[in-house]
Amino acid sequence: MADSRPMSIAQPPGATACLVFGDGRVAWGTGFGAEGSAVGELCFHTAMTGYQEVMTDPSFARQVVAFTFPHIGNVGANDQDFEADDPHALGCIVREAVSGPSNFRSTVGFAEWMAANKRIGISGLDTRALTRLVRREGPPNVVIAHSAAGEFDVAALQRQAAEWPGLEGMDLAKEVSRAGLENWSGGKWSLELGFGGDGDGERPHVVAIDYGAKRNIFRNLVEAGAKVTIVPASASFDEIMALKPDGFFLSNGPGDPAATGEYAVPVIRQLLETKLPLFGICLGHQLLALAVGGRTSKMFQGHRGANHPVKRISDGRVEITSMNHGFAVERDGMPQGVRETHVSLFDNSNCGLELTDRPAFSVQYHPEASPGPQDSFYLFEKFVGMMREDS
């Protein structure tokens, strides 16, 4: 790596953190946040903002995130921007040293936030070189480690990275899902009012299956006019139907959709038989595709960022989207009764589908992240509108 702390086994003076690859390569830097080590898959994220949301997104379970934007941490952290109760990304890598916060919403510095939440950070690495490495070789298995004393057993960390099996074939949804039912309350955040209320009047009731959901998805459903009840990933068809839903939502989440589909797909197929409206995002999109006979596969490098252009096939409109996925629905071999609705303008991969014989649709990207910023909110309005028509 073209940096003052290059990839090598020899530890440079003053290094307090390292990123160890399964093939023996080591990148040295300066640690921040928690001390310790963790093994997972390395990915890169291209967003310039929202690093706290990234770190707390359950879809990043078992992953180490390299931020391509060099200045991470300068707006600090707060108690409002969590996407889940706890962080799920194992750690992060940044180019420049984390500076003190400079934002009126900040309640704590990012480095302190990382330490309090037991997450490891490394600064001083050439994140552009890491990004090129992932693009060239695919996402490697790594160990991220931080020791204030600069003490590392590199050989042991290398073995740990080499022996980790990787995300393919791994079901992580049950690890990050809620354990029980939750009645969701609260709409989108605004500068003037904070988080919105639940609204007045009769609202269609959506039951959301939590495979690793982001909170802002539920806020957008409320904003669009729905009442939301959340159930765990393991919820059965009977448990869901006992809640008297007007529609179903399949959430985002981590891991291999084929592994999660072992228990999720049979339930989704039963839900589709009710012909009530159904909407899926990210992992939910992939699980819907599997439920109707489609296929998913691991991507070479994945899509993670807040600047991904996606074309809506029906009218050619381009949405600027946020994405976070390492698996994708295969475009070839789409079963009958399924129509492709969106496509990535980066690599032509599938980004959306709908069923032609029942009210079910899904997208690969994250409309709740609002990078456009409102390019994709119509999807929530469309879903709630379908439930109103059906009820």
368 is catalytic: yes
CA–CA separation, 372 and 263 (whole Å): 35
282, 303, 308, 325: which one is catalytic? Answer: 282
CA–CA separation, 10 and 19 (whole Å): 13
Q: Looking at residue 73, what DSSP letter applies?
A: S
How would you classify the pairing of strands 36-45 and 141-146? antiparallel
**75 neighbors 106 (Cβ within 8 angstroms):** yes
Complete DSSP assignment for 300-313: EEEEEEEEEEEEET
Q: How far is CA 176 from its chain centroid? A: 12
366 is catalytic: yes
**298 neighbors 256 (Cβ within 8 angstroms):** yes
**215 neighbors 188 (Cβ within 8 angstroms):** no
53, 319, 354, 368: which one is catalytic? Answer: 368
CA–CA separation, 147 and 24 (whole Å): 19
88, 303, 325, 366: which one is catalytic? Answer: 366
- Going by C-alpha positions, the residue among 139, 121, 141, 129 that lies closest to residue 18 is 121
- Residue 349 contacts by C-beta under 8 Å, 6 or more apart in sequence? 299, 303, 328, 331, 343, 364
**196 neighbors 219 (Cβ within 8 angstroms):** yes
**304 neighbors 44 (Cβ within 8 angstroms):** yes
Main-chain dihedrals φ then ψ at residue 129, nearest 5 degrees? -65, -40
CA–CA separation, 4 and 101 (whole Å): 26
CA–CA separation, 372 and 361 (whole Å): 21
Residues labelled as active-site residues: 282, 366, 368
